[in-house]
Structure 1
Amino acid sequence: MKTKNTNGKDLITTGIYTALYIVALFAASVANVTPLTFMFYPAVASLLGGTFFLMLAIKVKNSFSIIVWGIIVGLLFLVLGMGMALPFFVVGAVVGQLIIAKSGHKSLGMITLAYIITSVCSVGGYAQLFFTTDSYLKEASARGLTDDFVNGLSKYATGTFLAVIILVTAAAALCGIMAGRLIMKKHLVKAGVI
């Protein structure tokens, strides 16, 4: 099934679900209270944002809605000082859009896979911490984080911990979509997704 072209209604709907996803991102920021919980922010955000991604994927059947979502969310992270998130979000959103479009926006499995991929890509916002640790920690100190917090971050900046974050984020994204499925079951049936 071919996806339709973008129109004004689609852009408004994309904007609404993107805004709701951003609210979920801000709610997830409660995870930033300790260095350990900070590392799992992408997982918490993926869990809370799953419903809004799911609704965007089934409500807007055009070729660019997920990409627009990814660009807006990536730009938000750029403004908030996590510039590395932008390219990862855009790449994840492009891959996610291709996967969802291939199924005609009708496969819950493909929407779930797309969300897991975009969520895992969101971990890229921490790339600087893992790959240029010293410069990231200096920037964190300059932004006013305490020495204890910065030292805690340095303790978790390992390849093994990165793998753990990726796995937990993927699992949280799956749970987020499943929660969205339960919440929005009636809409999913109507849209022919389940």
Structure 2
Amino acid sequence: MKDNKLKIKDLVTIGVFTVIYFVFMFGVGMMGVIPILFLIYPTVLGIVTGTIIMLFMAKVQKPWALFILGMISPIIMLLGGHTYVIVLHSLVVMFIAEMIRRAGGYKSLKFNMLAFMVFNTWICGSLMQMLLAREKYIELSMMMGKEYVDALIELITYPHMALVYAGALIGGLIGAYIGKILLKKHFTKAGIA
């Protein structure tokens, strides 16, 4: 019987992939300097980081690995001044992604792709802060200037957020599919079908 517990090597792998993911997330996040682009940030993030997370799932096929990797970035953002909304939102999203992955036995390419689609919606929590913790988020965004904040207030509405979540899922699917194509050899070696 294969040991499914996370080992030190797995935790190191989680750490390495988290750093890589965070760098790409931060780079893509720069597009948020233009408020309207904030609405497509989750879509673009999914497309750009799909290969990274799909490779991670091929390398660490153990329970809670994806959950741990997925919770580090929102915790860092909370420590950097974001609101509690991003962490609570991410807890729910990462739990669902982890359960999807578990349902596929960690070796199903289809379930891993679906898990990444859900995983990718965690970043929508950064925008949900505007709706669920408005005053704190406005205060956090004021360093960008009043004009920027006013644009965000106008853009971030519940109907727009429905489109943002749909975009995050679509971006996640595209990113996972790109990862599937680029990493075919890794999936075969890891026994993922």
Partner of 2:124: 123
Q: How do 1:155-170 and structure 2 match up within 5 A? A: 155-170=154-169
Residues 7/134 of structure 1: CA separation in 2 closer, same or farther (3 Å cut): closer
Q: CA deviation at 1:35?
A: 0.7
| Kept after mapping to 1: 8 A contact 2:82/2:137 | no
Q: CA deviation at 1:101?
A: 2.0
Q: CA deviation at 1:62?
A: 1.6
Deviates more, 1:64-73 or 1:83-92: 83-92
Q: CA deviation at 1:18?
A: 1.6
- Amino acid across the alignment from 2:41: Y
Structure-1-length-normalised TM-score: 0.89
Q: Deviations over 1:72-126 (max 9, x none)?
A: 1221221333232112222222221222122221111111111111222331222
Partner of 2:74: 74
Deviates more, 1:49-58 or 1:76-85: 76-85
Where do 5+ consecutive residues of structure 1 fail to align? none
Secondary structure of 1:81 counterpart: coil
Aligned-partner Cα distance in 2 for 1:17–1:90: 19
Q: Deviations over 1:34-76 (max 9, x none)?
A: 1101232222222221112111212112212112112212212
Query: How many residue pairs are counted as aligned between the two chains?
Result: 192
Q: CA deviation at 1:176?
A: 0.9
Secondary structure of 2:61 counterpart: coil
Residues 5/85 of structure 1: CA separation in 2 closer, same or farther (3 Å cut): same
Where do 5+ consecutive residues of structure 2 fail to align? none
Q: Does 1:46 pair with 2:76?
A: no
Partner of 2:21: 21
Partner of 2:9: 9
Residues 154/20 of structure 1: CA separation in 2 closer, same or farther (3 Å cut): same
Structure-2-length-normalised TM-score: 0.89
Secondary structure of 1:40 counterpart: helix
Q: CA deviation at 1:134?
A: 5.0
